[in-house]
Amino acid sequence: GNSVTQMEGPVTLSEEAFLTINCTYTATGYPSLFWYVQYPGEGLQLLLKATKADDKGSNKGFEATYRKETTSFHLEKGSVQVSDSAVYFCALSPFSSNTGKLIFGQGTTLQVKP
């Protein structure tokens, strides 16, 4: 079946540090891949996405590359800020489903200290 696995958190970094949050997936065919972010007390919002192999999604300094050979979609940012503190979710939408159902990883909490 389809599944998403994220690295365990919480992740605590100092401001301006480099961030990597690992995400691997299991799926048949060519799913679309997403990173959603949840700021404290809010709902999820799309951070970035990639819809085919080797695509790179990017937004607000965050990047992730769709790697089919390693079934991965790791999230990276070169220099984190305190305002990046949030919960990050990796998710996939199966190719066979054209109706937007999402399968989520367990989420990774990021805390950035000044």
Q: What residues make contact with another protein under the rule CB under 8 A?
A: 4, 6, 31-32, 34, 36, 41-46, 49, 51, 89, 93-95, 97-107
Pick the closer one to another protein by CB: 17 or 95: 95
Closest approach of another protein to the CB of residue 50, in Å: 9
Closest approach of another protein to the CB of residue 7, in Å: 13
**Residue whose token pair is 């800020």:** 81
Closest approach of another protein to the CB of residue 67, in Å: 17
Pick the closer one to another protein by CB: 18 or 39: 39
Pick the closer one to another protein by CB: 41 or 114: 41
